[in-house]
């Protein structure tokens, strides 16, 4: 099976994110690469809050995995009372998808890794 180019992977990820954001219960996402960021949230007044949560989730997950020596963290799910966040690394990019608590985050994760 041919290996996808980095450009092709990013393009596929963008297409998958466009499809995911239209699903019921999806609040939005933040995609950060080493050189840029893409933010698509239903409530733009919460960009700073979601950006802070996104960065903290992945950083703390890495710190915990290092401390507990459990290996590399592929993805993290944090659940609140009404909302949850799926944060993961795809290549050099860091992605957080924000959703209502009843959304199937495992399905979202599978769709994202299908890139």
Q: What is the pTM of this model?
A: 0.84
| Tens digits of residue pLDDT in 8-45 | 555 678 888 988 999 999 999 999 988 888 999 998 89
Residue range 6-113, CATH number: 3.30.450.30
- Rounded Cα distance between 23 and 16, Å, is 11
- Rounded Cα distance between 55 and 104, Å, is 22
| Tens digits of residue pLDDT in 56-103 | 888 888 888 889 888 888 889 999 999 999 998 887 888 999 999 999
Residues 6+ apart with CB under 8 A from 97: 20, 26, 28, 29, 85, 86, 87, 105, 108, 112
Residue boundaries of the structural domains of the chain: 6-113
- Rounded Cα distance between 3 and 33, Å, is 21
């Amino acid at each position: 099976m041919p290996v996808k180019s980095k450009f092709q992977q990013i393009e596929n990820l963008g297409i998958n994110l466009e499809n995911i954001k239209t699903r019921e219960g999806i609040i939005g996402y933040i995609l950060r690469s080493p050189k840029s960021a893409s933010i698509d949230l239903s409530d733009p007044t919460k960009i700073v809050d979601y950006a802070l949560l996104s960065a903290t989730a992945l950083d703390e997950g890495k710190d915990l995995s290092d401390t507990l020596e459990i290996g590399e963290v592929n993805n993290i799910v944090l659940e609140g009372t009404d909302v949850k966040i799926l944060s993961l690394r795809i290549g050099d990019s860091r992605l957080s998808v924000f959703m209502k608590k009843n959304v199937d985050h495992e399905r979202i994760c599978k769709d994202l890794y299908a890139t």
